[in-house]
């Protein structure tokens, strides 16, 4: 049983990290933040990570309830989440992940701010509609086979691991950017785009089948 839980945690963690795409966020962050000052990078990384983690927990524990108020079931969320993720995946496959997360207007506005950790790095570059849909769907998939306590625990642990990954990726964004370069960043983004596309296809097929059977 423990091995099964660990497998679920690993599966959800990989999916969340791929969709959050901290590598792309790091490449954007170095253009907005003075990466020569360690304290500044640490502060921005911490605030952005906490923003994503708190928003993710709110989504996990309250997102499905809010959707139910509007009469939206999980299968519908799977379909629209699959569409959003597919659009993100297409952009990532072409090395244009930033366009799928925020607009040029938001980027220009961010350059005028002193603190960009919460907006736009935390939201919407890292945490966006695709992440919201993914968290709700992952939790629903697990709760369909196990108790709600197990599903909430597994997704929460996965979110914590993903948040730690985000922090260290952003914290050392300057070093990562120097090592990988623009070409390396784009290659990783394209590879992650394929994974996001596969997840999107699963969401779409599962959601359509669920709606069809209702």
| 15-55 residue pLDDT tens | 999 999 999 899 889 888 887 788 999 999 999 999 999 99
* Range of weakest confidence among 60-64, 107-111, 151-155, 195-199: 107-111
Predicted pLDDT at 213: 76
| Cβ-contact 167, 25 below 8 angstroms | no
Task: Tell me the average pLDDT across 183-208.
Answer: 92
Residue that has been written with the tokens 């993903």 in this structure: 162
pLDDT of residue 99: 47
**Smallest Cα–Cα separation from 103: which of 130, 118, 124?**
124
pLDDT digits (tens, 9 = 90+) for 128-142: 999 999 999 999 999
Name which of 122, 99, 148 is nearest 53 in CA terms: 122
pLDDT band at 147 (very low <50, low <70, confident <90, very high): very high
Q: In angstroms, rounded to a whole number, what is the distance separating the alpha carbons of residues 204 and 202?
A: 5
Q: Taking residues 161-190, what's their average pLDDT? A: 93
Report the percentage of the chain scoring pLDDT > 70.
Answer: 91
What's the mean pLDDT in 167-172?
Answer: 96
d(CA 156, CA 22): 18
* Residues in Cβ contact with 208 at an 8 Å cutoff, skipping those fewer than 6 apart: 79
Under 8 Å between Cβ of 137 and 199: no
Instruction: Report the predicted TM-score, pTM, of the whole model to 2 decimal places.
Output: 0.90
Q: What are phi and psi of 97, to 5 degrees?
A: -65, -30
Indicate if the alpha-carbon torsion angle 197, 123, 162, 45 is positive or negative: positive
Q: Where are the domains of the chain?
A: 2-212
User: What does the pLDDT average to over 80-94?
Assistant: 92
Does the structure show a pLDDT above 90 at 157?
yes
Distance of CA 20 to the CA centre of its chain: 2
Prior bond of 120 cis (ω within 30°): yes
């Amino acid at each position: 049983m423990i091995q099964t839980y660990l497998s679920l945690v690993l599966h959800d963690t990989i999916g969340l990290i791929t969709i959050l795409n901290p590598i792309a966020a790091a490449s954007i962050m170095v253009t907005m933040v003075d990466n020569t000052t360690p304290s500044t990078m640490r502060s921005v990384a911490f605030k952005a990570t906490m923003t994503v983690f708190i928003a993710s927990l709110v989504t996990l524990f309250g997102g499905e309830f809010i959707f139910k108020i509007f009469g939206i079931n999980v299968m519908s969320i799977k379909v629209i989440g699959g569409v959003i993720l597919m659009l993100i995946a297409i952009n990532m496959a072409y090395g244009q992940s930033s366009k799928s997360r925020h607009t040029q207007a938001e980027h220009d506005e961010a350059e005028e701010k002193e603190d960009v950790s919460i907006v736009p790095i935390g939201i919407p570059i890292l945490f966006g509609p695709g992440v919201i849909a993914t968290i709700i769907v992952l939790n629903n998939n697990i709760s369909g086979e196990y108790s709600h306590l197990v599903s909430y625990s597994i997704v929460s642990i996965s979110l914590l691991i993903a948040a730690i990954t985000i922090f260290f990726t952003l914290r050392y964004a300057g070093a990562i950017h120097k090592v990988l370069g623009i070409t390396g960043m784009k290659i990783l983004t394209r590879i992650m785009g394929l994974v996001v596309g596969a997840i999107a296809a699963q969401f779409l097929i599962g959601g359509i089948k669920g709606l069809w059977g209702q």
